[in-house]
Amino acid sequence: MTQKDKTKEELIEEIKLLQKRIAQLGTEDTEQQRMRRLATVVRDSNDAITLQDFEGRITAWNRGAELMYGYSAKEAFQMSIRHLTPPDKEAEQKEFIRRLMTGETVHSFETQRVAKDGRILDVWLTVTKVLDDMGKPIGIATTERDITERKKAEGEIRKLNKELEYKVTQRTAELTVANKILEAFSYSVAHDLRSPLRAIGGFATILSEDYRAKLDDEGRRLIGVISDNVIRMGQLINDLLALSHLSMQEMETTDINMMELARSVCNELKDGSFRDRAIEVSVKPLPAAHADYTLTKQIFTNLISNAMKFTSHKDKALIEIGGYDKGQERVYYVKDNGAGFDMKYVDKLFGVFQRLHAYDEFKGTGIGLAIVSSAVRRHGGTVWAEGEVDKGATFYFTLPRGG
């Protein structure tokens, strides 16, 4: 290696050392800048940041402390932290000092302080030890945040929640009693009506059979009206009993194959009440449900029989049954191309005795959809409908997922 090469290598090494030194100096400058910025943040913080010696004398007091407590720094330096401590919190002050001295570095808790004007402030307090260059504890640093308004708001919320909880409990109890009275009333009325209704039906039959020859056409027509209304009243009683029983019967949930159930209900209805009708029913894939089998069958029975009933004026009755997943629920629907309804009356659909069509046009008691609503709600589900006059209707309900 030549002398020239040596000189070059030495120069490169010196440059590297100089660059390293410059980098170190830059780091030192940056650290100083950071410390200055930190001091500015501490000085101007909205939180109260103070220093005290172990006798409690205040040695540092930032702008946040002035705003929170109302004392200037000059006043604070003549004070002890005890001036800010309510009498019932003095033992607490001594305790956290003792804990700091035994080695605990941070102690955070909620406490109270006294402002210059005598107000008691709720504060969130964080305490740390201040060490000298040798690591020896020489004082205490505290950061205090005023949470008085937050605590007041929390107290108001707790008070309102208690009041609301009490009102809800009272209202629930009142509704429970009212429902039990209504159920008992419905059950009693329905049973008590059966006896006189049977008597009316029986006497109407006797008049029709034994005195038919003595009655003119108008008399025979009136006997027929009585008989028809006895039958209608009997159906109404049965539906009232079904609705009353529905709210009282125990639920036994199980996984249900909804496709099989829907097809079974369709076959029963087509072979029974609607055997004289040509009805096209399409059962789409249905997700399984985890529900009470008897109640679920009642839901399908009422909705599908409604669809069959309200398509009776159509040349070609079309009914579609389907379902799909939606979040943690499963949605099922029964759709038809029948009479439909005006959406402005949709809120009346699921009420007891609510009818949107004349009895002479479509037979029924107006309780079927109330039974559907009650059965769905017992599962924690919801029920709703969409329709248009003369263009059909779709009824939806939700049930919990199957396994």
CA proximity to 295, closest of 212, 218, 378: 378
Specify the pLDDT at position 4: 44
User: 64 by DSSP, 3-state: which?
Assistant: helix
| Side chain identity, residue 43 | R
CA 97/CA 332 separation, integer angstroms: 66
State phi, psi for 297 to the nearest 5 degrees. Answer: -65, -40
Q: Which two tokens stand for residue 78?
A: 């003549």
The CATH label, of 2.40.10.120, 2.60.40.10, 3.30.450.20, 3.20.20.70, for the domain at 15-150 is 3.30.450.20
pLDDT digits (tens, 9 = 90+) for 306-344: 888 888 878 888 999 999 998 778 999 999 988 888 788
Record the pTM: 0.47
What confidence tier does 167 reach under pLDDT thresholds 50, 70, 90?
confident
pLDDT digits (tens, 9 = 90+) for 374-385: 888 888 898 898
252-400: CATH class:
alpha beta
Inform me whether the pLDDT recorded for 3 exceeds 50. no
DSSP assignment of 291-316: EEHHHHHHHHHHHHHHHHHTTTTSSS
Inform me whether the pLDDT recorded for 71 exceeds 90. yes
Q: Which two tokens stand for residue 332?
A: 């099922």
Residue 55 or 333, more confident? 333
Residue 19 or 280, more confident? 280
Which residues does 93 contact at the CB level (< 8 Å), separation at least 6? 56, 81, 82, 85
